[in-house]
Amino acid sequence: MAELIQQVATGLSTGSLYAIFALALVLIYRSTRVVNFSQGQMAMFTTFVAWSLLNWGLHFWFAFFLTLLIAGVMGALVEKALMRPVENAPSLNAVILTLGLLTLFGGLALRIWAGEPKTFPSPGVFEGAPLTLGPATISRPNIGVFCTSVLIMVAIYMLFNYTKVGLAMRGAAQNRVASQLVGVRVGRMLALGWALSAMVGAVAGMLLAPTLYLSPSMMMGVLLFGFAAAVLGGLDSPLGAIVGGLVLGVTQNLAGTYIGSDIDIAVAFLAIILVLIVRPTGLFGKQAIGSD
């Protein structure tokens, strides 16, 4: 029993990492209706930027926020320069473009920061002995990741549901022409969606780097699970992203413990297929009206 609880706790902390990535994907999907395959590589790239800033001797938090700023600018630039031309093309073209971005950012990182995987410092607040909650022990960075993911979820939820900008972003994604008619600057909203999503990705990258080490391929595994989590929860639901991430993390951990460590990924993805058969737009996703 104690082992089960410990495994669930470990699963929850793995899952909250997936959840942050899923949140970044949900953010971009909700604001531009694009599934961004390059999310992980963009996050990796910005984390390398943070590493370089730290290497120049900047203070951790200064580097952290500077990186967020750079990530935001980068996201907006990618949208303005590259995504804009494929906006009116078939929707598959945007997918292909993000696949190109995935290769591009991976290649650039390989060129600029080649060599040994780099170590990345953990922010001071995460240091200290692991916490004990009943029979389970959880490390402080894991709690930090979990809390961050919940914070980001709440922020996204507030943005989309309680602010004018959020409403405009949803409108721009859902019906471009109608939004323009009521005075929404659609182009700006799309760029903002990419910027915010790149920032969330950067946070995820910087949280992950201390445990994973920094290398151009560090995000591939996590990104896949982030995708799965987003789809499991429903691509347009921030709450779904968190729940999807946690469910996926726990399923993967339990399957790894009780069925076999070589098959945990397969079980996790089988679970997704099963969920999608029952709920074709994920656990919390809404079926768009009139789409087929």
Is residue 77 involved in binding other proteins (CB under 8 A)? no
Secondary structure (3-state) at 18: helix
Instruction: State the minimum distance, in angstroms, from the CB of residue 261 to other proteins.
Output: 11
Choice from 159, 241, 272, 283 touching other proteins (CB under 8 A): 272
Instruction: State the minimum distance, in angstroms, from the CB of residue 107 to other proteins.
Output: 3
Stretch that binds other proteins, among 64-72, 82-90, 149-157, 160-168 (CB under 8 A): 82-90
x/- track of binding to other proteins for residues 28-67 (CB under 8 A): -x-----x-x------------------------------
Is residue 280 involved in binding other proteins (CB under 8 A)? yes
Instruction: State the minimum distance, in angstroms, from the CB of residue 263 to other proteins.
Output: 5
CB atoms within 10 A of CB 143: 17
CB atoms within 10 A of CB 184: 21
Q: Estimate to the nearest angstrom the gap between the alpha carbon of 12 and the chain centroid.
A: 16
Radius of gyration of the chain (CA): 19
d(CA 58, CA 192): 27
d(CA 248, CA 245): 5
Is residue 259 involved in binding other proteins (CB under 8 A)? no
Is residue 102 involved in binding other proteins (CB under 8 A)? yes
Choice from 44, 63, 204, 235 touching other proteins (CB under 8 A): 235
Please identify, using beta-carbon distances, which residue of 66 and 265 lies nearer to other proteins: 265
Is residue 243 involved in binding other proteins (CB under 8 A)? no
Stretch that binds other proteins, among 1-9, 69-77, 145-153, 260-268 (CB under 8 A): 260-268
Cβ–Cβ under 8 Å, residues 208 and 121:
no
Is residue 291 involved in binding other proteins (CB under 8 A)? yes
Contacts of 88 (CB under 8 A, 6+ apart): none
d(CA 153, CA 23): 7
Q: Provide the H-helix boundaries in the chain.
A: 2-32, 39-55, 60-78, 91-112, 140-162, 164-174, 176-181, 186-212, 220-233, 238-258, 264-278
Choice from 73, 107, 185, 286 touching other proteins (CB under 8 A): 107
Secondary structure (3-state) at 214: strand
Please identify, using beta-carbon distances, which residue of 104 and 167 lies nearer to other proteins: 104
Is residue 115 involved in binding other proteins (CB under 8 A)? no
Q: Estimate to the nearest angstrom the gap between the alpha carbon of 83 and the chain centroid.
A: 19
C-alpha distance across the termini of the chain, in Å: 46
Residues that bind other proteins (CB under 8 A): 29, 35, 37, 82, 85-86, 89-93, 95-97, 99-108, 110-111, 114, 224, 227-228, 231, 235, 262-263, 265-266, 269-270, 272-273, 276-277, 280-282, 291-292
